[in-house]
Amino acid sequence: MCNGANLAYKREVFYEVDGFKGIDNIASGDDMLLMHKIWKRYPNQIGYLKAKEAIVETEAAPTWKAFLTSASGGPAKLPVMMIKEYL
């Protein structure tokens, strides 16, 4: 899982996977879907940096309802969408 608040990728890779094309009609979760497209192209080259210096803090939603209807919480449905791709 990823979060656009602290996400990095090379510009060339963005263009290689056609950026947000094909996912630009989905209201939320574009960061996760973009990384899924990149992972499909480069499955062994995705990394995770576990370091205090890399932490980015963002504001929490005030309620669960607000979270689940926000751009942050909306992607709860995304794993199902990704799985459907392989059915």
Q: Amino acid letter at 2?
A: C
Q: In terms of residue numbers, what domain contains 53? A: 4-84
Residue 80 has pLDDT above 60, yes or no: no
Distance CA 64, CA 39 (A): 30
**47 CB contacts (<8 Å, ≥6 apart)?**
none
Q: How many other C-beta atoms lie within 10 A of the C-beta of residue 17?
A: 20
Number of domains composing the chain: 1
Residue 4 confidence (pLDDT): 73
Residue 69 has pLDDT above 90, yes or no: no
Torsion, Cα 10 47 23 62, to 10 degrees, reads -110
pLDDT tier at 82 (50, 70, 90 boundaries)? low
Q: What is the pTM of this model?
A: 0.67
pLDDT tens per residue across span 4-30: 778 889 999 999 999 988 887 776 678
For the chain, give the mean pLDDT: 78
- Which of 23, 28, 26 lies closest to 38, judged by CA? 23
Residue 81 confidence (pLDDT): 55
Residue 74 confidence (pLDDT): 55
